[in-house]
Amino acid sequence: MRVLLTGGTGFIGSHTAVELIEAGHQPTLIDNFSNSKPAVLDRLRDITGTDIDFFEIDVRDEQALEELMNVRSFDAVIHFAAPKAVEESVRRPLHYYQNSVGGTATLCEVLDRHDVRNFVYSSSATVYGMPEELPVTEDSPLSVLNPYGRTKLVCEYLLEDLHTSDSRWNIVSLRYFNPVGAHISGLIGEDPQGTPANLLPFISQVAVGRREFLDVFGNDYPTPDGTAIRDYLHVTDLAEGHVAALDHLATSPGYDAINLGTGRGRSVLEMVHAFERSTGGEIPHRFVGRRPGDAAEVWADVSKAERVLGWTADRTVDEMCTDAWRWQSMNPDGLPATA
Ligand code: WQD
């Protein structure tokens, strides 16, 4: 299929572009480089051995999207483009609503005018807030506490309403748990700008010597080792889940939301120790207070993804850490700012 990837040079988008090409699809990537770098395109060419069809476009730019649709035809879209930092969203809610919600609405208007209505949406487990019951199923209550999570949920409602208004729209919202790791080549990986907000990139920057130590946010949670638990999954498993979602849309029209995780929770300390096992080095860390808004435990029921998509996340936590470390040790300072 000819697939438009918005946010295609981002962490999840770039890994999905690799898996799409390897599955025989023809992706076209667009990105505004607000949270990624042009050098990703060179790396994708190195990995796939093919040229990468790319346009520098912001999804809020209706004219640019129209011009794209006049020179390219698509069978489906995977929509990654959106800001994704919880803390930033609290400081800059308008930026999040304009980009996430406004960008999604503009994109869908243009797609509708060009009869492109197979749509995979990059959603997040953050829509479950602090779940009361575990594992989290797709029917668990939705409650979001920060603007980032609210924009993800509002976009899910936008897309569900769009399908309800016109059943020609076939949409699946993929609720990611905690994507980590990197492509096995070490050529692409998680390359956050500034200080990493997320656990694994922070750990890998400690391991490579860019950070002195890791602050573990809370060791007084009601969990076996006192540190918080999440459902970490390998980014390549996640990328393969998007390929499965595209195939699903081709045969099963409608609207759906599906969890993508491993179905197993692991604590912060378990991830620290797994990373130490994978790199053979020590990750200096200290325990500090809990991070506001953090849940003690979040992990997924992934039976629907297996039933509906025929997808499971099979890569181990050691593969997640080994691949993350390969990327970080090959790119100690991340990718260069210019291609
Ligand atoms: C994981 C655990 C922290 C950093 C968020 C978003 C989610 C997705 C992933 C975008 C928590 C602890 C972290 C550190 C730590 N974002 N931690 N020290 O919060 O589960 O999910 O990021 O797609 O939508 O909600 O992920 O990696 O930030 O934190 O102790 O320096 O690691 O407290 O328990 P989170 P995370």
DSSP-assigned letters across all residues of 209-276: TSSS-EEEE-S-SSSTTSS-EE-EEEHHHHHHHHHHHHHHHHHS-SEEEEEES-S--EEHHHHHHHHH
Whether 96 is catalytic is no
For a pLDDT cut of 70, what percent of the chain falls above it?
100
With beta carbons less than 8 A apart as the criterion, state whether 226 and 298 touch: no
Band (pLDDT 50/70/90 cuts) for residue 279 is confident
CA 316 – CA 234 distance, rounded (Å): 8
With beta carbons less than 8 A apart as the criterion, state whether 259 and 177 touch: yes
Strand segments (E) across the chain: 2-6, 26-31, 53-56, 76-79, 118-124, 170-176, 178-180, 214-217, 229-230, 232-234, 255-260, 266-267, 285-288
Per the domain annotation, does 335 fall within a domain?
no
Q: Measured in angstroms, how far is the CA atom of residue 26 from the centroid of ligand 1?
A: 33
Per the domain annotation, does 159 fall within a domain?
yes
Q: Measured in angstroms, how far is the CA atom of residue 15 from the centroid of ligand 1?
A: 20
- Say yes or no to pLDDT of 314 above 90: yes
CA 317 – CA 114 distance, rounded (Å): 42
Pocket of ligand 1 (CB under 6 A): 84, 86, 124, 126, 178, 197-199, 202, 214-217, 228, 230, 268, 291, 294
Mean pLDDT along residues 35-52: 97
Beta bridge partners of 119: 77, 171
Which of 80, 175, 291, 321 for a ligand 1 pocket mutation test, highest count of atoms within 8 Å of Cβ?
A: 291
With beta carbons less than 8 A apart as the criterion, state whether 82 and 7 touch: yes
Per the domain annotation, does 28 fall within a domain?
yes
Q: Measured in angstroms, how far is the CA atom of residue 13 from the centroid of ligand 1?
A: 19
Cβ-based neighbour number of residue 193 at 10 Å: 12
Residue 101 lies in domain: 2-179+233-263+300-314
Band (pLDDT 50/70/90 cuts) for residue 339 is low
Mean pLDDT along residues 223-246: 98
Block residue for tokens 């609210």:
150
Per the domain annotation, does 322 fall within a domain?
no
Which of 127, 199, 206, 286 for a ligand 1 pocket mutation test, highest count of atoms within 8 Å of Cβ?
A: 199
Per the domain annotation, does 131 fall within a domain?
yes
With beta carbons less than 8 A apart as the criterion, state whether 263 and 231 touch: yes
- Say yes or no to pLDDT of 44 above 70: yes
Block residue for tokens 């602090």:
130
Band (pLDDT 50/70/90 cuts) for residue 337 is confident
**Residue 280: predicted pLDDT:** 86
CA 183 – CA 198 distance, rounded (Å): 18
Q: State the amino acid at position 203 in one-letter form.
A: I
**Number of domains forming the structure of the chain:** 1
In this structure, what token pair is assigned to residue 205? 């920057």
With beta carbons less than 8 A apart as the criterion, state whether 159 and 105 touch: no
Nearest atom in ligand 1 to 227's CA: 34
Tell me the CATH number at 85.
3.40.50.720
Per the domain annotation, does 339 fall within a domain?
no
Q: What is the distance between the terminal CA atoms of the chain, rounded to a whole angstrom? A: 28
Active-site pick, 96, 121, 148, 176? 148
CA 16 – CA 94 distance, rounded (Å): 28
Per the domain annotation, does 206 fall within a domain?
no
Q: Measured in angstroms, how far is the CA atom of residue 156 from the centroid of ligand 1?
A: 22
Mean pLDDT along residues 173-187: 98
- Say yes or no to pLDDT of 182 above 80: yes
Mean confidence (pLDDT) of the chain: 97
Least confident stretch, 10-19, 70-79, 228-237, 246-255: 246-255
What CA dihedral angle connects 252, 157, 231 and 283, to 10 degrees?
130
| Phi, psi for residue 232 in degrees, rounded to 5 | -85, 135
In this structure, what token pair is assigned to residue 213? 């130590």
Residue nearest to atom 13 of ligand 1 (CA): 199
Per the domain annotation, does 154 fall within a domain?
yes
Angle ∠(212,213,217) on CA atoms, nearest 5: 145
